[in-house]
Structure 1
Amino acid sequence: MKQKMYFVLLISTIAALPLLTWALFGPPRLVVKPEAASHLDELLEQWALDGTISGSVLIAQDGVVFLNEGYGLADRAQGIPNTPGTRFHLASLSKSFTAMAILILQSQGRLNVQDPICNHMVRCSEAWQGITIHQLLTHTSGLSPRLHDIVSKAARKPEAPPDPGYYIEIAGEVPLETRPGEQYDYNNFGYTLLAHIIEQASGQSYADFLDKNIFTPLNMRDSGYEDSSSGGALGYSYRYDTTGAEYEQWPISDGEGQLYSTTGDLYLWDQALYTDQLLPQAELETMFERYVPQTIDVPGFGWGYGVLVTKLLGRPVIAGAGGSGYHSTFWLRYPADGLTLIVLMNQGDIDHMSVLLAIAGALFLSDLVFLVSALAFNLLLAILFVAQKNEWTRAVRGIGIMWLLLAIPLAFVFARYLAEGMGLPILVSLALVLLYMLVEFLLDFVFKVEFRQNWKTHVPYIVLEYIALFSLIRLAFNIHPTYGYAVSITFWILLAALIYLFWDKIRMWKRKEP
């Protein structure tokens, strides 16, 4: 009965382990290692040669830039390479800056996001009277998603005047798709209207307002509103395309996708969001609230003001994304871990989500696989010892096989660490863990040697076992203390199982004492 109660207690402790470690130390931290960033740089160089990526990538954590490099060509005809200083068309990533401009104007008392948009427009359709600035920001205005194409088509006509009001009037003739505030429907033209509102409320052009209130204060010297003199990377539709696309110039200021920037400038923007440089944090937080719980465009993300919002391990993730037939951009920040990833590409057939997952895998997969394997290593071993004590033959075999199968992910981690150029102490520590598993496999499963009865063979085995166990703890702390604490807790659970395993021998030893 006591044995079963101990087993139930052990299983309950193991089940509660995630909650325990989470409560004590928080969720596992995503850690950028210099070796992993260097290895990623090599991978990106190869991907650029294969045509899988063309652009610039920046990776930073806690104020340290681990990678900021260009890959592929900015101008394929001229052979001009992409560099960290190459300017890229941001596409819909521009929306983040438009939203910030609105919030700055609100902070200055010139508007409020709950204002009807017609309060800040010279011409405004009767159908738009119920639309608020908030609804434009969150794509819940009810405007037709066809408006962007309708206005673009009108602008191409030879007789089209340069008057912005003319195009707003054309857009106003198109009926609403839904009532304002009723439904989310991604709408580019809504952000074009926001740019017009910025101009009316500030008395400046959209481009000048952003330059004076965002780009210049943050020293973003290579950012601005797109024009023919920006000197940015030419856009290409696919990997073998050799004709660079020119940007379409709009007759009306466009707040949805006409900005350009560099990875370095976007990093300045990203870091400023941790400070009060642009807005006090209390006001800035409204930008990152999840007003739309779920978007159709990016699964798992909701919509804030000009940004995508979700949670990872219970903590906020902020992102911006843009795409056109010739460009693909992505900006991701994980404030809890001080992590920033910026990807700007001048090739339209590249899916930014695929690139993001590939980069995240190169940076974090080996460490996360190690953490899960190390936790399972100790916990399965603890259960195995209890099963051995109770002579549960089938359980011993099943759990033993599961434990031995952990050699596969651990071997994967060893191969990744080797490719990343991790130091010899790290590789030796992991090799000792794998050696212990190999010895266990040979002795208990292949040759089935009863070596534990002989101290001459049992002592070296125990020494190797504890070297392996402490190596796991060392490797975990090398990644980050949160990893180390979690693995240490499983070690103490394992130690409790070992005491239980040898409890009868300990009691016999005590009885023999004089």
Structure 2
Amino acid sequence: MNLKFFTTSFFTFILFYFSSPKLSFEDSKSKDDVKKDSAIISIPYSLKFGKVSDSFIFEKNKQIDSFYSKKIGTPGFYGSFIVAKNGHIIYEKYQGMANLKLQKTLNENSALHLASVSKVLTATAILKLVENDNIMLDQKVTDWLPNFPYKSTTIRTLLNHRSGLQHYSRFPELMKKNWNRKKILSNKDIYELIVKNKFRLLSPDNTRFDYCNTNYVMLALIIEKATGLSYGEAMKELIFKPLDMKNTFVFDYFRDKDTVSMSYRNNRPNPWDQFDNLNGDKNIYSTPRDLVKFDLATYSSEFINQNLMKEAYVGYTSNMKLGKDYGLGMRMKKLANGETQVYHNGWWHGNTSSFVPVKKDTISIICLSNKYSNNTYETLKLVESLYPQTK
């Protein structure tokens, strides 16, 4: 693509966008109005996408607006929401407060806690290291963390939650009086507790699926070992910086807790706890627009090998008979219309999140909330609303 043409087109769309209302339309708006309100999110990698027509944007916008008003953006909801196709924003909405005390409202630049959607990004960083021959998927964890007590565990079984590791949230129960409830824990602390206590595995490696945050805390340590960088810096170099995700960062409790968007339950701030400085499983803050950039990049062979990327969407749990499965940092669910949809949801304190890449139609659906609500998880029903019939 001609760089001059790309730059001019991009800034033209940005000019249209910021001189117009956000993409939330009344029935009286015409297709010309929709065209003026549209914006394009782009990444510095080549993509082979078809053109998104004005009629498509107009039709889907009205449909999404109706769904959002009824199912997601109900009174009291705090959050950010976007639907984009091929980077073209179809619908975008922000409501509520980033900080109630300061009366700071949410907008397109407000980074919110991704909770477990962070796992999608951690898993992608691992896959990029695999592509670069830094690590191997079936490599033993002990190759990177020599004192790790479970010799059979591999990087793959950490990714797909088949390691059988104990949940770090259960460590206080397991250690009882020996647990220090006042200490703000780091990933290294969790590793050292595992090494010292050799907690009993919940199941032998690669025999059973058990969703466990400890897996991704270990993966973050492996990323650090493989890159020689902190997890935050490694994620910046591997993903955030290359994709120009300017509003995305890894949270540091001691640096950021007084400046990030607040987390609420019933308009009351959630207190911090001793697990709030652990990352890999959570603690990435981002925006819907930045996550659209990430989703776009998963279609580009310049960003990541496409055959390797597809491995993230292959299930390992043999649970599709029950309508659900888990790959490498990505969930799968059988929808009522018969389609299998990949996605990942998250929850941490008052923060809820949902990342839904509709691969068959290159659509990104993202919903983030910093005030506890199950509305965030209505995204999968939106997919069924957009595609009521099986193709």
Taking structure 1 as reference, are residues 317 and 43 closer, same or farther at Cα in structure 2, changes over 3 Å only?
closer
- 355 and 340 in structure 1: CA distance in 2 versus 1, 3 angstrom threshold: closer
Q: How does 1:308-387 map to 2 (within 5 A)?
A: 308-310=331-333, 317-354=341-378, 356-357=380-381, 359-360=382-383, 364=386, 368=388
Residue aligned with 1:70, SS: strand
Q: Tell me, yes or no, if structure 1 residue 176 matches structure 2 residue 197.
A: no
Task: Report the counterpart of residue 213 of structure 2 in structure 1.
Answer: 188
Question: What residue in structure 2 maps to residue 24 of structure 1?
Answer: none
Shift of 1:350: 2.1
Q: Which residue of 2 aligns with 1:279?
A: 304
2:142 counterpart of 1:118: yes
Offset at 1:136? 0.7
Is the Cα contact below 8 Å between 1:316 and 1:334 reproduced in 2? Answer: no
1:203 aligns with 2:228: yes
Summarize deviations over 1:340-392 as a string: whole Å, max 9, x none.
210011122325334542x457x538xx4xx89xxxxxxxxxxxxxxxxxxxx
Q: Is the 8 A contact 2:251 2:284 kept in 1?
A: yes
Matched residue SS, 1:285: helix
Question: Distance between the aligned counterparts of 2:276 and 2:59, measured in 1?
Answer: 48
Larger radius of gyration: 1
Pick from 266, 281, 289: which aligns with 2:291?
Answer: 266
Helix, strand or coil at the partner of 1:309: strand
Deviations 1:243-296 (CA, angstroms, capped at 9, x unpaired): 223554658752101111000000000111111233111221112211223289
Report the Cα distance in structure 1 between the residues aligned to 2:361 and 2:379, rounded to whole angstroms.
21
Q: Distance in 2 between matches of 1:67 and 1:163?
A: 38
Paired AA for residue 346 in structure 2: G
Q: Does the alignment pair 1:81 with 2:105?
A: yes
Listed as ranges, the gaps of 5+ residues in structure 1 are 1-30, 373-481, 483-514
Distance 1:85-1:356 versus aligned 2 partners, 3 A rule: farther
2:327 matched to 1:304? Answer: yes
Could you tell me how far apart the structure 1 residues matched to 2:276 and 2:375 are? 30
Q: Deviations over 1:2-58 (max 9, x none)?
A: xxxxxxxxxxxxxxxxxxxxxxxxxxxxx965245246447646864622x320110
Moved more, 36-45 or 93-102: 36-45
Give the CA deviation at 1:61.
1.9
Partner amino acid for 1:176? Answer: L
- The corresponding residue for 2:11 is none
Counterpart residue number, 2:20: none
After TM superposition, give the deviation of residue 108 of structure 1 in Å.
1.9
Measure the CA separation in 2 of the matches of 1:322 and 1:162: 21
Is the 8 Å Cα contact of residues 123 and 168 (structure 1) preserved in structure 2?
no
Say yes or no: does 1:143 pair with 2:143.
no
For the residue of structure 2 that corresponds to 1:50, the secondary structure is: coil
- Output the CA distance in 2 between the equivalents of 1:109 and 1:253: 27
- Which structure is higher in RCO with an 8 Å CA cutoff and minimum separation 6? 2
1:229 alignment counterpart? 256
Cα-to-partner distance string for 1:54-81 (whole Å, 9 max, x where unaligned): 2011011233211122022222233322
Alignment of 1:497-508 (within 5 A): none
- Distance, in Å, in 1 between the alignment partners of 2:345 and 2:137 is 23
- SS for the counterpart of 2:269 is coil
CA-atom RMSD, angstroms?
3.1
Q: Deviations over 1:445-469 (max 9, x none)?
A: xxxxxxxxxxxxxxxxxxxxxxxxx
Q: Which residue of 2 aligns with 1:17?
A: none
CA distance, structure 2, for counterparts of residue 71 and residue 121 of structure 1: 44
Question: Structure 2 residue aligned with 1:107, among 131, 142, 145?
Answer: 131
- Tell me how far apart the structure 2 counterparts of residues 163 and 257 of structure 1 sit (CA, whole Å): 13
Letter in 2 for 1:108: N
Does the CA-based 8 Å contact 1:287-1:306 persist in structure 2? Answer: yes
Matches within 5 A, 1:418-497: none
The answer to whether the 8 A contact 1:57-1:70 is kept is yes
